[in-house]
Structure 1
Amino acid sequence: MTRVLVSGGTGFVGRFIVEHLIASGYEVVVGGRTPPASALFSKPVAFVPLALAPDIDQGGAFRHIDHFVHAAFQHVAGRYRGGEGNDPEGFRRSNLDGSVRLFQTARNEGVKRCVFLSSRAVYGEQPPGADLFEDTPCNSDSLYGALKLEAENELDALGTAAFKTVSLRVTGVYGVPDEGAAHKWQPLFDDYLSGRVIAPRAGTEVHGEDVAAAVRLALQTPLDRLQGGVMNVSDVLIDNRGILAMVQNIIGCPHPLPGPAALAAFNSMNTEKIRALGWQPGGRERLQATVRSLLA
């Protein structure tokens, strides 16, 4: 059985990846600072201590591991952009230097493939309405995006015939959180249900399960079909008005919807590259079903 080490496997996105890989027949090892709670996953998973620490030898965590999925990221709670808080040097040391050390260790220990969860933030400011392709010149306008791009480049430089690397540029992950945790749209729903004024805002959304499916494809696709080391992972372009229209339809809230955002000016990520490998995200149907679950 193929063994996959998932860093950050107990995080919001990592949890979807771990569950999906378990269901797909992989033997999953979760790497992190603390072991997962016994009931977090549908089946027991192994655990190894793993840290974003560039000065620590963590080779033991990669022994007998076939593939490495790097989903860990250290940041101020609830923030990615601006996640450095008042410690940009520590942010860089952990998320760039620490990640690169893990990539190097994985290669040195004989890991065959490494999948890195990157971000749409690498593209930064772009012309209004322009689609974002994997070869679009990046113009990162945040430390978060800049570090993700640097980590992508460092990982790509480590790639060999025996160590294949893939970076997935992900954006707007949604889904039902762990029991007791607030979901990403909770403040938006609260404002709407309270009748507060809501500013128009657009974004692209992708379900955590669809991100996990993209990770699996990056792990199992024959090497001759993995063209280039970067793939965009995005699904639905929608604004606050569209999301809250679903809420209104489900519960019959009488409050007016916010005005529409300028969707035509948004920079959507083109996903033809990963769709060519068989990726089929859930689209608006999955989004609406998730909104219904969140409201329930």
Structure 2
Amino acid sequence: MRVLVSGASGIVGRFVVEHFLAHGHEVVAGVRAGTSAPPVLQPSFSRPTFSRATFSRQVETVPLSLDPAAAAPDFGGIDAFVHAAFQHVPGRYRGGEGDDPEGFRRANLEGSLALFAAARKAGVRRCVFLSSRAVYGRPPDGELLTEESEPAPESLYGRVKWETEQALATMDGEDFVTASVRATGVYGLLPGLPHKWENLARDYLSGRPIADRVGTEIHGDDLAAAILLLLTADAALVAGRAFNASDLLTSRHEILSELQQATTCIHPLPDPADPSGFARMDTTRLRSLGWTPGGPERLRADIASLADRLATGDARSPATD
């Protein structure tokens, strides 16, 4: 399968590209025109370049814009489109509009719909949109969120994701099968990119006081596996539907406990917060397709890898984009 992945140089996009390559698929990496990411872009949309600087092997890259008035990338010969690109101010998703909410909405809603329309017109058969848990807003304490839970986004980020989901679902058809994946927080170590918990780990290892915080997480490779499954499953099981993607309810206390064991650090852990009030995401719909995330074992292995990175001095500051 030949797949175009937008936002391919971002953290989720990188996981998607690497997972698809590892499973024998051909990837075209759509990266933002003028990006500071390693791929060197040709000025023409019709002339792809190739890069190993960002990815583990040679990958074709094409410039891609969320400006709805911009020329679309060449979708010719593409079987599936994974839309993971998102325009926001550095370091923020919720609140990512900064002082330009109209520009934020134009890029992430109208720009996304323009890409979907171009993909469908070019004959792309399958499409998955990277949505977010944010479509649910702030649910009641302890609620189990299913895909049937009423979306009630409170942020512009969540509203744009929800409106994009709805618009894409109206485009679903026999020749253009669509699905949206509502992802929770994404963690995981990638070469050359910062880990989301590096600053937290540094603070703990330096003995700084840390307050506990609870949240749901999914490893980037497990999210990529879910996306691949949505592209290859029987169309009748996924067409026009949304799928929750989450694995663990975890906390800074648990994360730092794993780091403590990996580093033999003697600093005290933060007092554990009560997780019972946090709304979990039900993933029965995704698991019914055969999806199985890595669970606590994957989290433990990832924190051990982060500890190794910190010990060798290869740590990086968290990404701002």
State the TM-score, normalized to the length of structure 1. Answer: 0.95
Structure 2, unpaired ranges of 5+? 40-50, 309-321
Q: Confirm or deny: 8 A CA contact 2:135 2:161 kept in the other structure.
A: yes
Aligned residue for 2:302? Answer: 290
The AA in structure 1 aligned to 2:71 is D
The AA in structure 2 aligned to 1:40 is T
Equivalences for 1:1-296 in 2 at 5 Å?
2-34=1-33, 36=39, 37-58=51-72, 60-179=73-192, 181-226=193-238, 229-296=241-308
CA RMSD between the two structures: 1.4
Matched residue SS, 1:62: coil
Once the two structures are superposed, residues 170-197 of structure 1 have per-residue CA deviations (whole angstroms, 9 ceiling, x without a partner) of 1111111332x43111221122122222
Whole-angstrom distance in 2 between the partners of 1:93 and 1:261: 39
Whole-angstrom distance in 2 between the partners of 1:182 and 1:17: 17
Once the two structures are superposed, residues 182-225 of structure 1 have per-residue CA deviations (whole angstroms, 9 ceiling, x without a partner) of 31112211221222221221011111110110011011101133
The Cα shift of 1:105 comes to 1.1
Whole-angstrom distance in 2 between the partners of 1:98 and 1:228: 20
Whole-angstrom distance in 2 between the partners of 1:139 and 1:239: 25
The AA in structure 1 aligned to 2:53 is A
Matched residue SS, 2:280: coil
Once the two structures are superposed, residues 134-154 of structure 1 have per-residue CA deviations (whole angstroms, 9 ceiling, x without a partner) of 010011111111110011011
Structure 1 range deviating more: 31-40 or 234-243: 31-40
Q: Confirm or deny: 8 A CA contact 1:50 1:61 kept in the other structure.
A: no
The AA in structure 2 aligned to 1:261 is A
Q: Confirm or deny: 8 A CA contact 1:9 1:15 kept in the other structure.
A: yes
The Cα shift of 1:227 comes to 6.2
Matched residue SS, 2:281: coil
Once the two structures are superposed, residues 46-97 of structure 1 have per-residue CA deviations (whole angstroms, 9 ceiling, x without a partner) of 1222110111231x52111111000101112221111111211111111111
Structure 1 range deviating more: 157-166 or 38-47: 38-47
Whole-angstrom distance in 2 between the partners of 1:10 and 1:57: 20
Structure 1, unpaired ranges of 5+? none
The AA in structure 2 aligned to 1:291 is I
The AA in structure 2 aligned to 1:267 is A
Q: Confirm or deny: 8 A CA contact 1:49 1:61 kept in the other structure.
A: no
The AA in structure 1 aligned to 2:11 is F
The AA in structure 2 aligned to 1:190 is R
Number of residue pairs aligned between Structure 1 and Structure 2:
293
State the TM-score, normalized to the length of structure 2. Answer: 0.88
Whole-angstrom distance in 2 between the partners of 1:79 and 1:284: 27
The Cα shift of 1:119 comes to 0.5
The AA in structure 2 aligned to 1:9 is A
Matched residue SS, 2:74: helix
**CA separation of 1:177/1:19 partners in 2, compared to 1, >3 Å: closer, same or farther?**
closer
Once the two structures are superposed, residues 237-296 of structure 1 have per-residue CA deviations (whole angstroms, 9 ceiling, x without a partner) of 111111111111111222111111221111111001111111111101010100010111
The AA in structure 2 aligned to 1:33 is R
Identical counterparts, % of pairs:
54
